[in-house]
Each structure stands twice: as C-alpha cells, then as structure tokens.
Amino acid sequence: MKSLSYSKSNGQYPLTPVTNPWMIDIMAETDLVKKLIKNYKSPVNLHHIPSFEHNIDSFQEVFKKYNIDSRIYFARKANKSKSLVKAALDFEIGVDTASFNELEQSIKLGANSEYLVLTAAIKTSEMLKLAIQNNVVIIIDNHDELKLTQKIAKELNIIALIGIRLSGFIVAGKKLYSRFGFDIEGERSRLKLWFSQKSEFPNILLKGLHFHLDGYSIVQRAEAILQTLQFVDELKACGCNITFLDIGGGILVNYLESKKEWEDFQTGLQLAVLEEKPPLTFKNNGLGFKIAETGNSIEGNLKTYPYFNEINGPEFLEQILTYTKDSNPPVHELLNERNIQLRIEPGRSLLNGVGLTIATVAHRKQDANGTWLVGLEMNMSQLKSSSADFLVDPYIIYQNSESDIGSVELFFTGAYCLEQDILLKRKLSFPKLPDIGDFVVFVNTGGYMMHFYETEAHLFELSTNLYIQEAKDNEPLQILADDSISNI
C-alpha cells in the first residue's frame, strides 16, 4: 500500500538533496521499507544498479563525442558492494582495486586482466604476486615497490605490467605536493634511464603513466595531463612506448539542488559561529569556520566536501578534455595524436544517485538544554564523511501519527559510546517528532559515506548491503542482498 508520509528536513537553512526518482519511490513504499528493515535489520544500504549504469553511460558519451580511446575503472574503494563490481563488469568497464581482497574478489567475480588495475597505496608481496600472475597492471608508487615487483616477476618468470604514478606537477607556478608517486621533475632522469635501458628491471614492462590529484580542480588535472604528455614524448624518444594515461578520480559530484541554499547555509553558519544567530550545528561546531583572534570576524574555511557544484560529472570530464593552453590543440587532440588511451578511475562520481541508507528510530529524548536527540539504530561509522560533515538533508518516513510534537528541531544520535556520535552535525528541522520505529533516510550515501569508515566497535554487525535491479514492466522491484552474490 502506497503512503506519502515521508518528509525532508526543512529548517531555516535547508540543504535540499538532488534525488533520483528511485529514492522517492522507495520512501513512498513504507511497507517495503518496513519489510527490508525487518529482514535485514537497521541500518540497510540500498544501491540502485540502473543509476550506476546511467553514470557509466554519461562518461562514455563524453569520450565518444571526442572520439577518444578510453577506459573507465570503477574505484571500488568508494563502496564495498560486490553488486557494483559485477555491474561494472557487465557494463564493460574495469575496476580499480586498492587491496589484496579487492583485487582477489574482482578476479573471482569474473574480471579479466584488461579490466583491472591495482593502485593500492601499500603493496604487499602477496598482492603483487596475485596481480603479476593475473597480468593486472600495477600502478607503481616508488622505487622500493618497483624493485619488489621486479623480484617477484623474476621468481615467477613473468613480465609484470606496470604504470608509473607521477606527482609534483607545477600549476600556476606552484608545485602540487603529494605523498604519492614519483616526482615528475626530480625522478625524471631515473625513470627515463630505467625504462629505456631495461637492464635494471628486465621483468617489467612500462605500459602507462598515472596520477591521481587531491582536490577537485579541472585546471590542475588538465595541466597535469599536458606535463605527463610531454614526459610521454621524452620516453618515446628513448624507445619506451607509453600506451595509456590514467588520470585517477576526483570528478566532482553535485549533491544539492540549490546554489542559493548552499551559499545561505555558509553565511548562516558564520553568523552562528559569531553568535549573531542561534547555532546551526551541534555545540555550534563551525565545520572549519572559527572566530578570528580579533573577536569580531570569521577565519578559516568550510572543511567539508563542496556539496554544491555546477560543473560536475560528465561536464567536469569534458572540461578537462577540451582544455587548451596557449595556442596548442585541446587535450583530447593531444591524446589522439599520440594514440594514448585515456583511463579514469571514478569512485564517487560513478556512485552519484546510486545509494541510500535507512535506519530505525530507537528513542527520543531532550538533553539538559531541551534539545531533541533522536537515537537511531546505527552508529557514526555507518554514515561518516572524510570531511567535517555530510551536508545533505535527510528524510523521515513517518509510520503513524502518534507523536503530537510538531515542528521540531533535532539531532540524530548513534550507538557508539562516544559523546561525538552525532550522525549529522547540522541541526535538522522536521514537521513533527518521529515515533519509535519510524525510519530515517539519508540519500546519496553510496560514495564513501556508508562503508569507508565503517567499524565493528562494540561488536555491532556491519550494515547490510542490498541492490536493486532494473524493474521489468509491471513487475515488483527486485531487491537482493549483496551477500547472495557468490564470489567463489
């Protein structure tokens, strides 16, 4: 039975999420949500495979438009679900793996070598052996890793395929620092020597160059491509043929519907920090903004993901490809001229609109200040951003109307024994207080939010991951457990 009893948080400073229709459909199906929570316990994470496919298509369209030889590798570190790896392989894209288990599981799920890349930050012998035996390209970060790869490849009597990770690009006169990769300037001569002579690393074949930049700058990515292509030419002149350039991830996602809401929230937060307005966050957390020493102004920056982005997803990629410097041809022409395959490793952006997290209300209480705290059957590790907060309004699905406390401001709290287990730091505002057993829905949590920091402290079980397949005409939605996918 359909019921439209869900409601978005809508305070003085709303941050209205961009939602995909499937999310709204789920929230309208109270009985279905009840059944899912009964079967799988709170919280559950839902993944919508058709939205994942749509995101893949939208990147492929850009590559097609510029006639670029390309390959997408889904950075699965952003989400643990096997269903997404299977979907990536079904939709003929690759998988970027960052650990032994990610690599082994992807192989067991049917990925062949061309559709895998190993980019792990720390590479064990066991991991390198698995990659080498399966002809998976290994992205090498440093000299020790290179030597270990050579040693293992020699023992196995196999040629290991590698890409070299570069960093230290100069953009607008400044060097971009990274703890990862070989410095493109400082290590240039050594790299040329190693891969032109082939005597030091006879069991290694350099196939490509790689970078992944921190932050979300289009210009930095395009400039890094230009500097890498110059290096490609130098390597070619030394007899070393580079076949791919992998530019990692970092393609921006837009989580929010309104630029105005995003800007107003930041203005409001600064006024709250200055105590010119009531707090917008738990204990008036400035999320990076703080009062300057002079006492009457704000210093610092908002230390969260930039949740509103006009240029995002495919358009972000297109702007990299069409970037031009001086009177040179655009990036896409420079790549095509050299017959280089462009590879990307999107995580977050392939998961845009793909996931949501649902949890049950366990209790309601007021603290000593009269603030409503609504306890949920989940913990802070199950909705945790690497930035200061997840600035996206959640929804409540009301099951009945017993509660007569209307128009309420509240915070959601979690199950860890920590004062800081406040699920979203932002004060939320709903038309009425939820009842015990009502559901809270956090949308667009698929990229990093639901899994990246999830822990089993207090022996809590990990959340259950479900996935939704394409619904056929007139058939009910197919919602399946990720655990039911066999990877043996």
Q: Which of 168, 153, 94, 167 is nearest to 344 (CA)?
A: 94
Residue in 163, 208, 347, 355 binding ligand PLP, rule: CB under 6 A: 347
Closest residue to ligand PLP, based on beta-carbon distance:
249
- x-marked contacts with ligand PLP along 113-152 as a string, rule CB under 6 A: ------x---------------------------------
Residue 335 interacts with ligand PLP (CB under 6 A): yes or no:
no
Residues in 61-120 that interact with ligand PLP by CB under 6 A? 75, 78, 96, 119
Dist CA 150 CA 141 (whole Å):
14
* Helix (H), strand (E), coil (C) string for 268-324: HHHHHHCCCCCCCEHHHCCCCCEECCCCCCEECCCCCCCCCCCCCHHHHHHHHHCCC
Output the CA–CA distances (angstroms, integers) from residue 442 to 289, 381, 394, in the order listed.
Answer: 25, 14, 5
User: What part of residues 183-212 is at the interface with ligand PLP (CB under 6 A)?
Assistant: 212
Q: Give the range of 7-15, 156-164, 242-250, 353-361 binding ligand PLP by CB under 6 A.
A: 242-250
Q: Which residues contact 465 (CB under 8 A, 6 or more apart)?
A: 44, 45, 47, 80, 81, 83, 481, 482, 483
> Is residue 249 close enough to count as binding ligand PLP by CB under 6 A?
yes
Nearer to ligand PLP, 96 or 223 (CB): 96
Instruction: Locate 421 and state its tokens.
Output: 């287990």
Q: Tell me the HSE value of 215 on the side-chain side, using a 13 A CA sphere.
A: 8
CA 43 to CA 360: how far, in whole Å?
Answer: 7
Residue in 345, 389, 393, 454 binding ligand PLP, rule: CB under 6 A: 345
From 149-157, 243-251, 282-290, 294-302, span contacting ligand PLP (CB under 6 A) = 243-251
Q: Which residue of 251, 273, 440, 479 would you call a contact of ligand PLP, by CB under 6 A?
A: 251
14 binds ligand PLP (CB under 6 A): no
- Residues 416-435, one symbol each (x = binds ligand PLP by CB under 6 A, - = not), give --------------------
Residues that contact ligand PLP, how many (by CB under 6 A): 14
Q: Are 389 and 307 in contact (CB under 8 A)?
A: no
* Nearer of residues 71 and 348 to ligand PLP, judged by Cβ: 348
Nearer to ligand PLP, 43 or 250 (CB): 250
Instruction: For ligand PLP, give the closer residue by CB, 96 or 389.
Output: 96
Does the footprint of ligand PLP cover residue 349 (CB under 6 A)? yes
Could you tell me the smallest distance in angstroms from the CB atom of residue 162 to ligand PLP? 14
Nearer to ligand PLP, 394 or 446 (CB): 446
The 3-class SS string of 52-115 reads: HHHHHHHHHHHHHHCCCCEEEEEEHHHCCCHHHHHHHHHCCCEEEECCHHHHHHHHHCCCCHHH
- Residue 7 bridge partners (DSSP): 396
What does the binding site for ligand PLP look like in residue numbers (CB under 6 A)?
75, 78, 96, 119, 212, 248-251, 345-349
